[in-house]
Chain A
């Protein structure tokens, strides 16, 4: 008799958990579904013109270019710095700089991104007198760096101590041990961190509000000139009263979603194969 009661309880519990999981995941699927349903018609009807044309042509081409440009430049600026900072925090955890770095990185991870934008505005936009790709890049780099640095640090920390001992026992210098042996061992984790960081900043909006400016009538031609991005464009379009603009916003949202998933999903899938 009690066996049946146990079975019923187990069933009920599993059902409950499944339900809650579904509830938790629901918003994500709802977003994906809504964006696809609302945005697909716009993209399909616009076709190539939507993807490559300027705003007056009814397209978001410059925005896409802007997103890629900003992501690429912030990667160029942020990734090396993040890598080195992560390594430093790993190698010198007990130094003052090391300890502070770890704390600061944690703070910056949660820092309001709009404030980063404000900071860069004061530091670059105001002196330069114009919005620019550089300013946007700097904002995004500031957000990217702590992410990648923390991932790097964690990836390094996961290397078993015995490999560290072995490398030193071969008479290698500290630099060589770090850069020629240990970092390559952690490369999967570091790379993953880098890509995740990039996927994140590709879709950021707030940091670009006061820095990048927006450029949708022509393709980006200079780093000291304003530049647009898909997320920024969506923000702009939503605020306009025109329903045509709103439809375009849905289309742009779909494009952004696709870019994001295209980076993120393969990373997550390949993560399962990470073995040290």
Chain B
């Protein structure tokens, strides 16, 4: 099994707070891998170790290894910038840059990283918006600002922005937490399409979403990995009592 991401004895500290406690996780390539757990269990933190975005927090300390396609991204000779260009991220609140047009939002990573020459950028922007199932809705107003888009559309714009960089992995931090149900359904359908080509790591606050959408699911509780397995198995017959409690709603 080809592993997209693997953590080995991962520990994360925020100051004196031990947030992730010795997690060994294996995320297979391609498909949707869900990380679920009650709030505060550390799933968002763990997601941010996968692209070293956790380093934006001054008090954060990471120990252990995180392997991206076999290579430890925390070894001292690795440049976090390079890692982040291979790993796209989508956040909880749809956050397209308000001061840039829809086109410029999608093109930003390409332009500023000088990844493509000018003419090719336009092609890539169209491709990305099509991939994110947003092209038809915005093709006539690429010079508009994203403030006029709905929440679901904004989030798809953000997905297009990430896809434009042609990452190998997409990290998603509760992407539908602040979207209405119709928008959520559209995004979940989009994920279903994308999972054929991309490895998607989806942090979700809702076990029901993990059940609907994911191929694999891991249950995190208070910083520890409690159970991991194929979605069908974990939801039909979880091994661990805590997992059972969580998925049936008996945990807070």
Tell me, yes or no, whether A and B come into direct contact in the complex with CB atoms closer than 8 A.
Answer: yes
Name A residues whose Cβ lies closer than 8 Å to a Cβ of B.
94, 160, 162-166, 168-173, 176, 180-181, 184-185, 187, 275-276
Name B residues whose Cβ lies closer than 8 Å to a Cβ of A.
51, 53, 56, 58, 81-89, 91, 93, 95, 97-99, 108-109, 112-113, 158, 161-162, 165
Which of B83, B85, B89, B112 contacts A166 (CB under 8 A)? B89
Contact A165 B99 (CB under 8 A): no
Which chain A positions have C-beta within 8 A of B165? Answer: 170-171
Which chain A positions have C-beta within 8 A of B51? Answer: 169
A171 with B99, Cβ < 8 A, contacts A164-B56, A176-B112 known: no
Nearest residue (CB) in B for A174 is: B81
Contact A168 B53 (CB under 8 A): yes
Nearest residue (CB) in A for B81 is: A171
> Closest CB of chain B to A163's CB: distance in Å?
6
Kindly state the separation between the CA atoms of A117 and B108 in the bound complex, as whole angstroms: 46
Kindly state the separation between the CA atoms of A127 and B99 in the bound complex, as whole angstroms: 48
Contact B99 A169 (CB under 8 A): no
Contact B81 A163 (CB under 8 A): no
Which chain A positions have C-beta within 8 A of B113? Answer: 170-172
Kindly state the separation between the CA atoms of A276 and B97 in the bound complex, as whole angstroms: 9
Contact B109 A185 (CB under 8 A): no
Which of A168, A187, A275 contacts B84 (CB under 8 A)? A168
Contact A185 B97 (CB under 8 A): yes
Contact B97 A181 (CB under 8 A): yes
Contact A162 B93 (CB under 8 A): yes
What would be 15 A-B contacts, judged by CB atoms less than 8 Å apart?
A160-B95, A162-B93, A165-B53, A166-B89, A166-B91, A168-B53, A169-B84, A169-B162, A170-B84, A170-B109, A170-B161, A171-B81, A171-B85, A185-B98, A275-B98
A163 with B88, Cβ < 8 A, contacts A171-B165, A172-B109, A176-B112 known: no
> Closest CB of chain A to B48's CB: distance in Å?
8
A184 with B99, Cβ < 8 A, contacts A162-B91, A165-B91, A170-B109 known: yes
Nearest residue (CB) in A for B58 is: A94
> Closest CB of chain A to B66's CB: distance in Å?
15
Contact B56 A166 (CB under 8 A): no
> Closest CB of chain B to A265's CB: distance in Å?
25
Contact A171 B98 (CB under 8 A): no
Which of B58, B82, B108 contacts A170 (CB under 8 A)? B108
Which chain B positions have C-beta within 8 A of A170? Answer: 84-85, 108-109, 112-113, 161-162, 165
A166 with B95, Cβ < 8 A, contacts A94-B58, A172-B109, A180-B112 known: yes
Kindly state the separation between the CA atoms of A170 and B171 in the bound complex, as whole angstroms: 12
Nearest residue (CB) in A for B115 is: A171
Kindly state the separation between the CA atoms of A176 and B162 in the bound complex, as whole angstroms: 17
Nearest residue (CB) in B for A169 is: B89
Kindly state the separation between the CA atoms of A72 and B97 in the bound complex, as whole angstroms: 33
A169 with B97, Cβ < 8 A, contacts A162-B91, A176-B112 known: no
Nearest residue (CB) in B for A164 is: B56
Which chain A positions have C-beta within 8 A of B53? Answer: 165, 168-169
Q: Beyond the given A166-B91, A168-B53, A169-B162, could you list 19 further A-B residue pairs with CB under 8 A, ordered by the A residue number?
A: A160-B95, A162-B93, A163-B95, A164-B56, A165-B53, A165-B91, A166-B158, A168-B56, A169-B53, A170-B108, A170-B112, A170-B161, A171-B82, A171-B86, A171-B113, A184-B99, A185-B97, A185-B98, A275-B98
Contact A276 B93 (CB under 8 A): no
Which chain B positions have C-beta within 8 A of A180? Answer: 112
Contact A172 B112 (CB under 8 A): yes
Nearest residue (CB) in A for B89 is: A169
Which of A163, A173, A275 contacts B97 (CB under 8 A)? A163
Most buried by B among A166, A170, A187, A275: A170
Which chain B positions have C-beta within 8 A of A176? Answer: 112
Which chain A positions have C-beta within 8 A of B99? Answer: 184-185, 187
Nearest residue (CB) in A for B94 is: A162
